[in-house]
Amino acid sequence: MTATSADSMLRELEPSVERLLNRHLNVAQDWLPHQYVPWGEARDFDGPWGGDAWEPEQSALPRAVQDSLIINVLTEDNLPSYHFEIAIRLGRDGAWGAWVHRWTAEEDRHSFVLRAFLHARRAVDPVVLEDLRLRNMASGWFSRNWFTPLHTLAYATVQELATRHAHRNTGVLCGDRLGERLMTRIAADENLHMLFYRELLADAFQAFPDDAMTALADVLGDFRMPGVGIPGFGSRAARVAAAGIYNPAVHHEHVVAPLLRTLSVPAATGLGPVGRQAQERIGLHEEQLKSRAARARDLYERTRAGR
């Protein structure tokens, strides 16, 4: 795909970007992160102020919820990398640039408020969290196979929807009223971001059906959450999956299947040979995902039953 092709895609979709950005600004509710942190329940840590060191028994959160929140905050910390990757692919001028900067500003609230909440609640080891932050950000984050702007839109759509469910489920299982309220607030941001990208991707299907179908097939077949590079991600993600926060079943039932229905991917017509091949790849991928979800669900149930 040539740079000219990418430029034509961006030009063709820019009116949609402007329309969707205006809609987003009309419906988005600004909120103040500092209001969601229980500062009155916090106390000093050891260090210059002579407070108390963190101890594991101070955390009231289940282990899987701790793992999920660590993954969440470290993922949000890598916003500079995400901004760079998206800005160089979608642009920093016009409606595209206005959206990219607005999206970045809204996302930047999440890492601040999550870390402040974790510290105030003494929910996780702050020293370990800071060490992981430095190591994770030192590695950065790089997009996978984003050959066209449509790959960027497809990945962002899937990722935002997945993150929305991960945040919501973390809040439900945390057993902390304030924590659940915070995660619901963050999930609402992610939902609006998902709607922007999904509606833009829908317009791309109208303008570039073969390219859009190919981009979605590529992204779904190789999808990884942006936190995959976090040190220790595998073991934490396994506990998160077993707890039902985010696993293959959630990914299929609440992310992939609804997205394919909304975009009318299985019923799409007017495709050329390349588009039809991508459509078939998506259908095969969904069937494989169904099987993985069923196996994972059975494994989690047997594990909980002690078998």
Query: Would you call 218 helix, strand, or coil by DSSP?
Result: helix
Structure tokens at 243: 């707890």
Query: Would you call 208 helix, strand, or coil by DSSP?
Result: coil
253 annotated among ligand-binding-site residues: no
160 annotated among ligand-binding-site residues: yes
CB contact burial 144-170 (16+ within 10 A = b; e otherwise): eebbbbbbbbbbbbbbbbbbbbbbbbb
Vertex 107 angle, CA 26 and 178, to 5°: 95
Query: Would you call 45 helix, strand, or coil by DSSP?
Result: strand
Q: Could you give the residue ranges of the DSSP H alpha helices within 174-265?
A: 177-207, 209-221, 233-242, 248-250, 257-262
52 phi, psi to nearest 5 deg: -100, 135
280 annotated among ligand-binding-site residues: no
DSSP secondary structure code for residue 256 in this structure: I
**Amino acid found at 114:** L
Q: CA 31 to CA 24: how far, in whole Å?
A: 15
For residue 137, give the nearest of 166, 115, 159 by alpha carbon. Answer: 115
For residue 10, give the nearest of 72, 100, 120 by alpha carbon. Answer: 100
For residue 254, give the nearest of 189, 186, 169 by alpha carbon. Answer: 169
For residue 185, give the nearest of 106, 102, 68 by alpha carbon. Answer: 106
Residues in the chain: 307
8 A C-beta contact, residue 190 and residue 170: no
For the annotated binding site, the residues are 76, 107, 110, 160, 190, 193
For the annotated binding site for Fe cation, the residues are 76, 107, 110, 160, 190, 193
